[in-house]
Amino acid sequence: MPKQTFLSLPEDKQNTLIQSAKKEFSRVPLHEASIANIIKDAGIPRGSFYQYFEDKEDLYYYLLNQVAQENNKKLNSILQEKKGNLMDALADQFRYMISLRHDEEHKDFLRYAFLNMNHRKENTMANNIYKESLKNERSQTLEMVDTSYLNIEDKQELSHVIRIVGAITFHNLVQVFVHDLTDEEAIFNYDAQISLIKKGLQRKEVD
């Protein structure tokens, strides 16, 4: 989390720094990004940076979390639109996510995020790290799921379902960036996989 000092800064100064950071994190992946570049671009001294953030990661995950929050809102609205049908909502959400690749502002930032997706980034995207407010939003999302569409018996199974579709969704998003899939290819694969797990991987015994 950014330190209080940063949050107390005049908004435009905050934005300058954020813009510079986004620029750097869009140039190279996190581990190659340098604080030196960010502060040079933002025109602030090195010491100040460390008054605002713990380190590079702190700033990075602050940004990533902002993206995640937008995303979460989107999912909520889609889920509402789909009347609680989780699988349908995810199919839409997936399409939305890959469409972000064409958005100049997020493009390369997302690209490097997914090319170097790891547990912490995934967790941030799925929103578990920041703020209690998010915990609320999260369960708010969960509450919206209409479980009658799903082949489950209790809340615990719902959480397993979430993990399953989450793992598959992230896997597919990573594939999109790693192999530079077209939207069509990406959607085809994702839908195929979702369809498979919806109907079940195990052949029913035919007697």
Partner DNA sequence: CTTGACATGTGACACGGTGTCACATATAAT
Partner DNA sequence: ATTATATGTGACACCGTGTCACATGTCAAG
CA distance 87 to 4: 40
* Residue length of the chain: 207
Span near DNA by CB under 7 A; candidates 2-10, 63-71, 98-106, 122-130: 2-10
Give the sign of the dihedral formed by CA 123, CA 129, CA 134, CA 137.
positive
Residues 6+ apart with CB under 8 A from 21: 38, 42, 59, 60, 63
Interaction between residue 87 and a copy of itself (CB under 8 A): yes
CA distance 39 to 17: 8
Q: Is 133 or 151 the residue whose CB approaches a copy of itself more closely?
A: 151
Q: Which does 164 bind (CB under 5 to 8 A by kind): DNA, a copy of itself, none?
A: a copy of itself
Q: Which does 37 bind (CB under 5 to 8 A by kind): DNA, a copy of itself, none?
A: DNA
Interaction between residue 199 and a copy of itself (CB under 8 A): yes
Q: Which does 148 bind (CB under 5 to 8 A by kind): DNA, a copy of itself, none?
A: a copy of itself
Least separation in angstroms between residue 199's CB and a copy of itself is: 5
CA distance 107 to 129: 23
CA distance 127 to 13: 27
Q: Please list every residue from 80 through 109 that binds DNA, using CB under 7 A.
A: none
Interaction between residue 161 and a copy of itself (CB under 8 A): yes
Q: Is 34 or 128 the residue whose CB approaches DNA more closely?
A: 34
Least separation in angstroms between residue 47's CB and DNA is: 2
Rg, the chain, Cα only: 19
Q: Please list every residue from 19 through 78 that binds DNA, using CB under 7 A.
A: 33-37, 44-48, 50-52, 55-56
Best CA proximity match to 98, nearest among 25, 163, 30, 177: 177
Residues 6+ apart with CB under 8 A from 135: 128
- First vs last C-alpha separation in the chain: 59
Instruction: Give the interface with DNA as residue ranges (CB under 7 A).
Output: 4-5, 8-9, 33-37, 44-48, 50-52, 55-56
Instruction: Give the interface with a copy of itself as residue ranges (CB under 8 A).
Output: 31, 87, 115-119, 148-152, 156-157, 160-161, 163-168, 170-171, 174, 178, 189, 192-193, 196-204
